[in-house]
Amino acid sequence: MGAYESLWFAAMLDVKDPLQLAADTIRCLSIDAVQKAESGHPGLPMGMADAAVVLWTEFLKWSPLDPNWPGRDRFVLSAGHGSMLLYSLLHLSGYDVSLADIQQFRQLHSKTPGHPEVGETPGVETTTGPLGAGLSNGVGMAIAALMEAAQCDNPLLATRVFGIVSDGDLMEGISHEAASLAGHLKLSNLVYLYDDNGITIEGHTEIAYSEDTKKRFEAYGWFVQSCDGHNMHQVRRALTAAIDEPTRPSLICCKTTIGKGSPNKANTHEVHGAPLGADEIRLTKAALGMSQEAFHVDPRAKAVFETAAAKNEHLRRQWQQAMQAYEQAHPAKHAAWQSFRARTVPQNLYAELHKAAGDAPSVATRVLSGNVIQRAAELVPSLVGGSADLDPSTKTRIKKSPSFTAKERAGRNFHFGIREHGMGGILNGMALHGGFLPMGSTFLVFADYMRPAIRLASLMKLPVTFVFTHDSLMVGEDGPTHEPVEHLASLRIIPNLHVFRPADAMETAAAWTHALTRRDGPVCLSLTRQNLPLLQRAVAFDPGLVLRGGYVLRESSAAKATMIATGAEVSLALDAAATLGKSGIDVRVVSMPCCELFLRQSADYRSAVLGTLPVFALEMGRPELWCQFTGRIDRVIGQSTFGASAPCKQLAEHFGFTADHVAARVRAAL
């Protein structure tokens, strides 16, 4: 650039409105980072920069000095592909995201991965990318804020959730589920800016999307406004009205131009997910009146955010002073709140839950789980949750608490309706908010409806409990549509997910103990519809062994084989072992309620449990994963076909899940 051009650009910057300069700085940082990475999505950051600057500098409460400040507002970039918008905002706001970090966009171990990842970047509230997931997380955060404030009787905790959603977010089914429930619950602390740019990867949205979004959200019970997303005054006015709305969540439809500022690619799908190219970047910066220097940040743009940071720091200190006054006025409530935020559980939790489970001789593990939940709710205030319209079957209702509704914010029970995917995303949002240990329940066969949310919970290491009942062919007359066959296997292959399938009261108590004490990921509980017998153990049995994931339930010095089983099939394995014993074949029986926990144990422990004899595995589901223990598929007694509609005893006989059939399989293999 020549001297004349440099002076011209400097003059342009001097007369540019500081907020507009900040927005254009975000545009330039975004296109530079995507260009350097040779990968990324510049269109959304360029299109939403104006609205984002107004939100972050005038409305959102945040603190780079204390990114996890409980009194902060949450910001959710549901359209996670536009991550450079968020990274640019964090850098300009003073978070620990440097220009060097911006320049490492989408590189290994950087603070600026391709989509926002919670825990990797300070200021990022949730991992987004799968469209619609962030929207549902925000609903969960909004619920959590209102519930926390009500339970603690402290309005200082009633924080807000702001977010940006895209056309893609609103097309995904999860957005319908979450938005419908948010409207029903009247979550007035939830505000979303809709990037209404009319473009997706394939072209203009009209090729697949023609509904009236405004009417749709109004039908959900939302307060809906429209504005020019590039007119900061209109955005400001809409945000002000949204915050003042007392009874409804808000959607602000911001009409924007994707790739705003690019002379040749704005308003095209070409700018959605690809670098602009060096020539177009040069033309774009010239059109915006910005410096051609890569990753340039004008001090005046930074000053806009420094002013906002100073205002927010003042608000944070005011909040802290108010919390100190709350502590002095209500020391017991404040102590309870601190315990809640720490997700404290009592040291004797396992023993208490085992006692609560009961010792009935014949009971379904879903019923045992329901018993455990009642005591767990008394001992662990963080535990909240509900079901996808199935509490009479899944037994997850906390009986001593009301439900969370539009009028009752302190209730610990949720009625998610028939919205499994939305339920999963909302549970994740509640866990992300902090303090809560949320649970959600449905039938195991419907885990498929919420698998993306379970995967994200595992990726984000969230302490969420997914309670799945009716976990095998023994659902019976409901037939193959409701009989899970592949589901346990498919859940077990999700990294960092622990699947616990208990066989009796002790194992159910252990499952819930693990779920309520794990802090680095979610737990799935797989529970029976049918009654199971109470397992007999040695008098000196150590209950702690159950928490190791697998243990020897029946030992024999004369054994010729070891049989692993889970859940309902543990008692079947014991019966089969007794049948084999009558023909002179002794069998060891190992209960393995949680493979993931067992595989975490030392090699010596695993070897002691599995032994050196031939190993068989028994479970009413896909057999392949059990080969890691048996070494051979023919030593796994499982189910590879869909089920059938019939009384469960007939199904057990038909599919070979009886003591005689199992014994015959083992005898033949030996």
Catalytic residues: 420
Angstrom distance (rounded) from CA 439 to CA 657: 31
The one-letter amino acid code at 50 reads D
Q: Taking the CB of residue 47, how many other CB atoms lie within 10 A of it? A: 32
Nearest to 189, CA basis, from 220, 253, 144, 252: 144
Q: What is the DSSP letter of 477?
A: G
Q: At 135, list the tokens.
A: 């929207």
CA distances from 312 to 50, 123, 160, 304, 561 (A): 20, 14, 14, 13, 67
For 167-221, strand residue ranges (E) read 190-196, 199-200, 203-204
29, 288 contact by CB (below 8 A): no
The one-letter amino acid code at 667 reads R
Angstrom distance (rounded) from CA 365 to CA 384: 20
Angstrom distance (rounded) from CA 29 to CA 35: 10
CA distances from 316 to 60, 61, 97, 124, 623 (A): 12, 8, 21, 18, 55
Angstrom distance (rounded) from CA 179 to CA 182: 5
Q: What is the DSSP letter of 382?
A: T
432, 133 contact by CB (below 8 A): no
Nearest to 124, CA basis, from 168, 160, 156, 78: 78
Angle (nearest 5°) at CA 28 between 41 and 30: 25
CA–chain centroid gap for 341, Å, is: 18
Continuous segment of H or E residues that includes residue 74: strand 74-77
220, 182 contact by CB (below 8 A): yes
Residues present in the chain in total: 670
Q: At 301, list the tokens.
A: 């743009």
Q: How would you classify the pairing of strands 383-387 and 437-443?
A: parallel
Q: How would you classify the pairing of strands 250-255 and 362-363?
A: unpaired
CA distances from 34 to 78, 103, 629 (A): 19, 9, 46
Nearest to 571, CA basis, from 583, 555, 589, 557: 589
Q: What is the dihedral of CA 29, 30, 31, 32, to 10 degrees?
A: 40
CA distances from 348 to 63, 405, 449, 519 (A): 38, 33, 36, 18
**SS3 state at 365:** helix
Q: What is the dihedral of CA 552, 555, 559, 565, to 10 degrees?
A: -40
End-to-end alpha carbon distance in the chain: 82
SS (H, E, C) 399-431: CCCCECCCCCCCCCEEECCCCHHHHHHHHHHHH
Angstrom distance (rounded) from CA 126 to CA 578: 52
Sign of CA dihedral 354, 359, 364, 370: negative
The one-letter amino acid code at 426 reads I
